[in-house]
Structure 1
Amino acid sequence: MAEPVIDEALRERLKSALWFSIGKIVDEEILQLDVNATPQFIGALTEMVWAQLENTSRDLESFARHAGRSTVNTDDVLLLARRNEGLGELLRAFVDEENAGKLADKGKGKGKGVAKK
């Protein structure tokens, strides 16, 4: 399957937004650690994160496609995290918590209870 092509202008806007966000995080950390970070460091960190995002997105799309789906779901994300036990545990706990919340919300649905007099 051919890799989707994103508009170069959109790509640059996304990378700029990533650079900005990483710059903000670095700024917060350097204040706490009392160190300096150069713009080159922030740029290199941005490039590394961008490359990781591209690889991650390709893997997630491949997992979904292999399962016969066109949409990435939580199973794909959990599969991606399979080699990182700590991250996998955090993600599973989050998914379980979200699923429990959805089940609780379903119980509060319309007309499901008996009216009390």
Structure 2
Amino acid sequence: MAELNNEKLEEELKAALWFSIGKIVDEETLKLGVNATPQFIGALTEMVWAQIENTSQDLESFSKHAGRATISVEDVMLLSRRNEGLEDVLRSFVDKQKGGNNKAVKKK
């Protein structure tokens, strides 16, 4: 019974993801004056879903390795370590949330 509920939840989440990606693709294709097929949106949705699954598994593994049951900011930062641009954006966001900016600001 629990497996059936999980499958239903997964279907609902994929449908919501497909809808959201479809809206974004529609907006962008209108701006660019091009068309996107439903197959493209479906393939993009599957690719994003696979990335979400990989990311969630990695985050879960990082937190378990650290002996925690909850995913922390450190786990997310560890995940972003291979994407310098993403890491910079996330670090800036974390610093802002903590109420300070740890990077030195150069004066002109």
Within the alignment, does 1:20 sit opposite 2:16 as a pair? no
AA aligned opposite 1:97: K
Aligned to 1:53: 52
AA aligned opposite 1:21: S
Identity value in percent: 70
Shift of 1:86: 0.5
Aligned to 2:104: none
Aligned to 1:35: 34
AA aligned opposite 2:8: A
Within the alignment, does 1:78 sit opposite 2:77 as a pair? yes
Q: Secondary structure at the match of 1:57?
A: helix
Within the alignment, does 1:63 sit opposite 2:62 as a pair? yes
Q: TM-score, normalised by structure 2?
A: 0.87
AA aligned opposite 1:11: E
Mapped to 2, the partners of 1:33 and 1:75 lie a distance apart of 38
Shift of 1:21: 0.2
Q: Secondary structure at the match of 1:82?
A: helix
The C-alpha deviation readout for 1:7-65, integer Å capped at 9, x for no partner, is 10000000000000000000000000000000000000000000000000000000000
Structure 2: stretches of 5+ with no match in the other structure: 101-108
Higher helix fraction (1 or 2): 2
CA root-mean-square deviation: 1.2
